[in-house]
Amino acid sequence: MKYRRLGRNGPQVSAAGMGRGSQPIRFGDPLETEFNAAIRLALDLGVNFFDSSDAYWGGRHEVLLGRALKAQRNQALIATKFGNIDLPDGKKGTNGHPEYVAACCEASLRRLGVDVIDLYYLHRVDPNVPIEETIGAMAQLISQGKVRFIGICEAGSKTLRRACREHPVTVLQTEYSLWFREVELDILPTCRELGVGYVAYAPLGRGLLTGNIKSVDDLPPGDRRRNNPRFKPENLARNVGLVRELESIAVRNQVAPAQVALAWVLAQGEDIVPIPGTSHARNLEQNAAAVELRLSADDLGHLSQVFAIGAGAGERYPAHVLKGVGI
């Protein structure tokens, strides 16, 4: 495993981390055994960066991750988040009030079973609270020894600049993959100017870039991706066509399409750390091996051309969700 530094002054982490995975696991579920095996294998492979949130699986992900890492806590860097909330009407909301920051941190520490959170993110920017107030409260957690580093998810460049003026922000996390490259226009350059690291979630395009999704029927009933514009039948055919170019490069390199997609992201800069989401041991070896994959300049250039900004069909989120990102 290779390692990269998060931001100008952040910790070193494995070049590929481990996201939460898309399949919710309940306490006592047989899948918990598989989840635990995946965590153990990740550590054996040198993966030391684990991403969570109080919003994942109703807080269960933090509990399960904490249990799985308990015996090897000193080998892991745990990242978790707050501020992405469920409203009484079933819609999503945000909360960045300082008192909420402190309460969420305490709750996450308990669920994870740890004394300190290595990287604590604001999951979504609260448009009703000045970012300086939220970041100031997060900075207090550092001074109290409850958090080591802080980050922001899905923030716009202006918000990131304001946040960094209040306290150094170690990392910005948002989506980045061959399928979604718009961050190259503004977000990535701003991060690099400010010395903020970049964590790329959904680097496999929510499964689209694995080559395993050819039609909507390949998604399980009730899968939330069925509501995602890029997976709508009228868009999916075009997107699958782009993936065929990725698959041809994978065949030529004798690797899986997912490994090519991850290798492309890793090649975009040493300051980028992708966190492919999986709860299954069988995917981890493949993801870890992608760190060692070096694509030729021709392959990298061809992929960048095929998956140019705007080449794919459909937004990455439904319209009402997009309103809450990039603030």
Residues 6+ apart with CB under 8 A from 224: none
**CATH, domain 3-205+268-290, list 3.40.50.10580, 3.20.20.100, 3.50.50.60, 3.30.70.2190:** 3.20.20.100
In 3D space, the residue among 195, 119, 183 whose CA is nearest the CA of residue 156 turns out to be 183
pLDDT of residue 23: 78
In the three-class reduction of DSSP (H, G, I as helix; E, B as strand; rest coil), residue 266 is classed as helix
pLDDT of residue 29: 85
pLDDT of residue 207: 93
Q: Please report the sign of the dihedral spanned by the C-alpha atoms of residue 95, residue 100, residue 101, residue 107.
A: negative
* DSSP line for 150-165: EEEES--HHHHHHHHH
Please report, for the chain, the start and end positions of each structural domain, with discontinuous segments joined by +. Answer: 3-205+268-290
Can you give the pTM of this predicted structure? 0.96
pLDDT of residue 278: 86
pLDDT of residue 307: 97
Catalytic residue numbers, as ranges: 56
pLDDT of residue 129: 98
pLDDT of residue 25: 86
pLDDT of residue 263: 98
Q: Which residues of the chain have pLDDT under 70?
A: none
pLDDT of residue 88: 83
* DSSP line for 103-120: HHHHHHHHHHT-S-EEEE
pLDDT of residue 281: 77
pLDDT of residue 223: 87
